[in-house]
Amino acid sequence: MNVLRFIFKEILHRKINFTLSLIAITLAVAFSVSFFTMGTASKRETIRLMRDMGYNLRIISNKTDMNFFYSNGYSDQTLPEEHVQKFAAQKGLLYAHLLGTLQRSIDWRGRRALLTGIAPEISPVGKEKPPMIYTIKPGAVYIGYELAKGLSVQKGDQVEILGGSFHVENVLREAGSEDDVRILAALQDVQNLLNEKGRINEIQALNCFCVVEGRDPLDMLREQLAVTLPDTHVIQKRAIAEARTRQRELMDNYFALILPFLLVVCAVWVGALAFLNARDRRQEIGVLRALGYDSKKIALLFIGKAVMIGAVGAVLGFIMGTAFALAYGADIFKVTFQKIEPIYSLLVIALIAAPVFTAVSSFIPAMIAVTQDPAECLREE
């Protein structure tokens, strides 16, 4: 209690010094908290934006005519629908989204259309994620932009496709790709229309492009699937896969570079302030020593004050940094701003790190000051 009273008296006696030190550590913590909170949001935003580039893995029958495949955009051979479940069940495969499709080019009202049936998307067990593509109800269709525009089809219309009647659930916005002439429907509906019950002609997935030194990731993936799905051929959209991986590596490297720089700046700032404060206290320390206070108690005074500054600064800095991230995060991260939230674990870390940081920064100058001859300190007065 005597030490705490001593510390509070010293704080009241040197209010400007305490305030400047508190401002320094508060801003350092606030910047760090804001940086990490926004950094987490940035990583999430990057993952989401890269995900929206589309599936990077296509699995088709190994009997596919590849000339036909690249010319028409789909395989001329089918696979059992159960292959999707086999893929999902295989251990060791890194993927986030899995989709079975059946596609066929048809003539619809005098126009070429790409009829596509899609099954509900599958996520890894225990890692459920929002689907990348529409979930279409049986009896409903989504019509591509150019088809709808050229044939005057609107949302809510009833249309006939290969003898079946369907409700136009939505008209897709212009994509600038083959999706503009696509008709999307539930997989089971398309299987019935094409007399392909229980069949698909492609599995699409969003998989992890993992770099392994000396090995081609695509070769590794083909080896893994060769046992479970021996009748398939794997195609990877390398440009998408590599772009996704490079972007994630870029973000990781960015944070790995910025964090040490941030810590060094904070250390220099707090340390310099501590040295200046210790130098200004030389006469004060001489008076305390002359009044009978030993070096241990004087050192406890300054280290205790530093710890208190660190603790208060940690709380204030967490509040300021979090408030800044919440206030400006929505303007920066348009896609995932709703998921920006306080990271309370940072408060725990700050309450431990900031007092230790300020104590260590104050320790050396405090030790230098308290070991000096009080007579020399008072002579300077």
pLDDT in tens, 316-343: 999 988 888 777 765 655 544 556 678 8
What pLDDT, on a 0 to 100 scale, did the predictor assign at position 209? Answer: 47
How much is the mean pLDDT over the chain?
Answer: 77
What pLDDT, on a 0 to 100 scale, did the predictor assign at position 335? Answer: 45
Task: Report yes or no: 236 and 57 within 8 Å, Cβ to Cβ.
Answer: yes
Choose from 263-272, 283-292, 296-305, 331-340 the range with maximum mean pLDDT.
296-305
Q: Which of 368, 296, 317 is nearest to 37 (CA)?
A: 317
152 vs 260: which has the higher pLDDT: 152
Q: What is the pLDDT of residues 138-192, one digit of tens each?
A: 999 999 999 999 999 999 999 999 999 999 999 998 888 888 999 999 999 999 9
DSSP string, 147-195: HHHHTT--TT-EEEETTEEEEEEEEPPP-SSGGGGEEEEEHHHHHHHTT
Chain centroid to Cα 155, Å, comes to: 35
Query: What's the mean pLDDT in 32-58?
Result: 65
Could you tell me the two tokens for 256?
Answer: 């790995």
What pLDDT, on a 0 to 100 scale, did the predictor assign at position 180? Answer: 92
For residue 63, the surrounding DSSP H or E stretch is: none
Does the structure show a pLDDT above 70 at 374?
no
46 vs 90: which has the higher pLDDT: 90
**CB burial readout 290-308, b (16+ within 10 A) else e:** eeebebeebbbbbbbbbbb
Does the structure show a pLDDT above 50 at 41?
yes
Could you tell me the two tokens for 323?
Answer: 């408030």
Domain ranges of the chain: 2-50+245-380, 57-236
What's the rounded Cα separation, in Å, for the pair 82 and 191?
14
Task: With 0.85 as the threshold, say if the pTM is over it.
Answer: no
Beta strands in the chain (DSSP E): 57-61, 79-80, 95-108, 111-118, 140-143, 158-161, 164-171, 182-186, 199-200, 202-207, 232-236
Rg of the Cα atoms in the chain: 33
What's the rounded Cα separation, in Å, for the pair 373 and 370?
8
Q: Which band of pLDDT confidence, cut at 50, 70 and 90, is reported for residue 112?
A: very high
Task: Report yes or no: 164 and 191 within 8 Å, Cβ to Cβ.
Answer: no
What's the rounded Cα separation, in Å, for the pair 31 and 325?
10
For residue 231, the surrounding DSSP H or E stretch is: none
277 vs 34: which has the higher pLDDT: 34
DSSP string, 279-321: HHTHHHHHHHHHTT--HHHHHHHHHHHHHHHHHHHHHHHHHHH
